[in-house]
Amino acid sequence: MKVLVIGSTGGSGRAAVDHLLSAGHDVTAFARHPERLETRSPRLRLVSGNALDPADVERAVEGHDAVVVTLGITENPLRVRILGPAHTPIDIRSTGTRQVVAAMRRHSVRKLVVLSAFGVAETRPRLDLVNKLFFRLVLKPQIADTERQEQAVRDSELDWVLVRPVNLTDGPEDAMPATSTTPERRKVSRNSVGRFLARAVEDSTLLGRHVTVSGPRESSDLARAR
């Protein structure tokens, strides 16, 4: 498949690129500075662009079979809450995803995999007390934007998968990241999330589902969209 990764220089985006290449796909890495990717492959194409620019997104989407969106703000969340983001607009997830959806519909690209977060929408009550406070006091604007992003995906009429990882780490890849509605572990590596994003591109059983990704455990229970 020809797969476009939007936001490919973040931790999860980089991991998704690597796992997609390992699975044999042709990958286009789209970012403002895609040259920052260390990965090189004859099946990897680097495209510079802004996810908020409709023309940039339009050019990137055309000719692909699937799109993976891993947009987000990588700056210190406390600084973002107090001063606002220095480099990335606060609405990057929702606005960027809407641009992607519009371009996909125009070019008849059906498969959309989007990185979201555990703790939005119906998963919010499942947060522990510390994370509930952190989300409310520090991440509130970013979580609100993530919820708008999810709504744009659900309204898209595309073949979508929403991936909701728990707290992300830069640790080693988990042997088998779990997909569940009630995660037993509250951390998961970005490498593991990237592997799951790559899997979601191929797995038709995940279509129209919100999937929480956490550390490994034996059971697997996917949350079907309402």
183 pLDDT tier (thresholds 50, 70, 90): low
Q: Which residues of 152-169 are buried (b: 16+ CB within 10 A; e: fewer)?
A: bbbebebbbbbbbbbbbb
Mean pLDDT (the chain, rounded): 88
Return the pLDDT at 174.
60
pLDDT digits (tens, 9 = 90+) for 72-118: 988 888 888 888 888 889 999 999 999 999 999 999 999 999 999 99
pLDDT at 178 over 80: no
Please, what are the domains in the chain? 2-224 (3.40.50.720)
Least confident stretch, 44-58, 99-113, 173-187: 173-187
Return the pLDDT at 179.
59
Return the pLDDT at 221.
35
pTM of the predicted structure, to 2 decimals: 0.88
User: Residue range 200-224: average pLDDT?
Assistant: 73
